[in-house]
Amino acid sequence: MKKKSILELAREQLDTTLILFELVLSAIFILMGYLTGNSYIRGVGIGLTIAWVTSALAHYIGRKR
């Protein structure tokens, strides 16, 4: 059995890490938008949320196959 290198292990976890990072960023932007009353920042957060859902679905479907 071949032992995996650190880079190979990191590549396996990178997609999950980026999806979670996108979720955290969207929550931060939405919260900042509501606290400052800035609809532009709130819209960026909503756009990130839509991107997060899309990437999470793609990740789930890709893993399922």
Q: Is 14 domain-assigned?
A: no
| Confidence grade of residue 1 (pLDDT, cut at 50, 70, 90) | low
Q: Which domain holds residue 64?
A: 26-65
Residue 49 within a domain: yes
Question: Is there a domain that residue 10 lies in?
Answer: no
With CA atoms as reference, report the closest residue to 29 among 57, 55, 49, 54.
49
Query: Is 6 inside a domain boundary?
Result: no
Helices then strands (H, E): number in the chain?
2, 0
**Tell me: the pLDDT tens digits for 31-65?**
999 999 999 999 999 999 999 999 999 988 988 87
- Tell me if 36 is assigned to some domain: yes
The more confidently predicted of residues 41 and 6 is 41
Nearest to 22 by CA among 50, 3, 63, 1: 50
What's the predicted TM-score (pTM) here?
Answer: 0.77
Residue 53 domain-assigned (yes or no) = yes
Examine the pLDDT at 10 and tell me if it is beyond 90.
Answer: no
4 part of a folded domain: no
Count of domains forming the chain: 1
